[in-house]
Structure 1
């Protein structure tokens, strides 16, 4: 029972998500959260393998692909997106689950797992920085500050309000090619463009960046240092696996520094020849790391 199927799920949070499902619903559930600028297809190589032993749930998160795209930056605050996660689990009658996230999906996963440890049994993070480590590095690490300037552009651009499909294509594929040095397979380009061209999609996707309170100083800018980045931070309560594509040019490997002090049950896998989009750049390595760790850490 590993065939992938998609369904629209209406949530108590007021949005409807397009959700990919695979595997036997009687098996232990795992929820997979994608990041920018993708969809549940981030996990296309991992889903079949996971579905052999798990019930796999991979939503298009709010603002993406075929899911709801509410208007207003405030509707993309992290707490509302995390609420979607738990509302989705409720709608599928799932109480406790393993949670995995990549990029922005990982940012939501860090927060959701910390806030609801009784529901999140295990946590997997792929190229998504821990919030305290990320904010600290944006102030203290010149390389990461430089690499993160795209966030300032995403917040400030008005390109999403201009109905120019060629500009849209150039803008988004420059993220892969110029900034991250990642080659998008030709067969995937048409899928990306179809998803990005959904009414309101680009604005919704960029609103994730506009809604975050993360402070991204400009190069050379001297801003007041947020007090919370130097104080104590709650320990991550779940067994946690962090997988990092070490050639990531946007989220540098320095972002794993110190994670062992924040996660008592911490495992780390470095994928030396992968960049930011490790789940499809090096699918076999990611899948193998996931399966090995899940087998060693029963839910």
Structure 2
């Protein structure tokens, strides 16, 4: 894998009523647009193995969520919130004339943003792919915030320790030490977003709203992901019995990086069938 900041994709800036949104795009195929929504500690660079693969057939839109790199404003930020992210992305799709909707793909925290977008603006979502969502539902009790220690380390000035705790928790022990340089650069650039994210810890999803989704849904999990992500997918499958389910072999939470060939094929085959 390329190891540094030298291969960053070109980016665009969309002015918003109260700020701006950075994004990259590629392709212009005959297929409907694909919107890629990254998760915690990431930005649009996270999709480096998806953007070119999907661009052969589709316009691919990959934003950096409000507050993420290259946004240099300090955290915590009030605007770093699930519903605000969803509103920003609806604004982006309309600004790009995607009024007929996009195939929306969300990973981890980005899956909750994707779900919020589908609930806020269902006309903009042709389909929804949720990869390893981690949210709880309103009928479930709150759980301890798994990254509370990481937030405390950030506040104490131990950025590297905070990152290691977070990444190893979501993807498996010793993951951070083994990651390639470009990924580490990206995560370091977004480390302080946890100071904002913790304000929304345990933000729930209404199961009735999830069950009422009108668009086709694909539920994707990493075969080696921590068990909590599988429980979220199981519950969504109960709420959405018509949803398709896929398992990415040889991959944990970062499935689109660990096994991009299978992840890409899975998403493209689903999208083609919508």
Asked if TM exceeds 0.5, the reply is yes
Partner of 2:80: 76
Partner of 1:150: 146
Instruction: Give secondary structure in 1 for the equivalent of 2:213.
Output: coil
CA, structure 1 residues 258+194, in 2 after alignment: closer, same or farther (shift >3 Å)? closer
Q: Is the 8 A contact 2:32 2:102 kept in 1?
A: yes
Q: TM-score, normalization: structure 1?
A: 0.76
Q: Is the 8 A contact 2:36 2:63 kept in 1?
A: yes
- Tell me, which stretches of 5 or more residues in structure 1 are unaligned? 140-144, 216-225
**1:170 equivalenced with 2:174 (yes/no):** no
Out of 207, 215, 221, the residue aligned to residue 196 of structure 2 is 207
Q: TM-score, normalization: structure 2?
A: 0.82
Distance in 1 (CA, whole Å) between partners of 2:202 and 2:164 is 26
Aligned residues: 266
Instruction: Give secondary structure in 2 for the equivalent of 1:257.
Output: helix
Instruction: Compare CA radii of gyration and give the structure with the larger one.
Output: 1
Q: Is the 8 A contact 1:11 1:88 kept in 2?
A: no
Q: Deviations over 1:93-147 (max 9, x none)?
A: 2211111100111110011112211111110111114652xx55556xxxxx5xx
Partner of 2:126: 121
**In the TM superposition, what is the alpha-carbon distance from 1:185 to its structure 2 partner?**
8.1
Partner of 1:160: 154
Distance in 1 (CA, whole Å) between partners of 2:209 and 2:67 is 33
Q: How does 1:282-297 map to 2 (within 5 A)?
A: 282-297=259-274
**In the TM superposition, what is the alpha-carbon distance from 1:40 to its structure 2 partner?**
1.4
**In the TM superposition, what is the alpha-carbon distance from 1:278 to its structure 2 partner?**
0.8
Q: Is the 8 A contact 2:111 2:132 kept in 1?
A: yes
Partner of 1:220: none
CA, structure 1 residues 253+260, in 2 after alignment: closer, same or farther (shift >3 Å)? closer
Out of 224, 237, 251, the residue aligned to residue 247 of structure 1 is 224
Instruction: Give secondary structure in 2 for the equivalent of 1:170.
Output: helix
Out of 94, 99, 103, the residue aligned to residue 98 of structure 1 is 103
Q: Is the 8 A contact 1:246 1:253 kept in 2?
A: no
Q: Is the 8 A contact 1:9 1:17 kept in 2?
A: yes
When the two chains are superposed, the root-mean-square deviation of aligned CA atoms in Å is 3.1
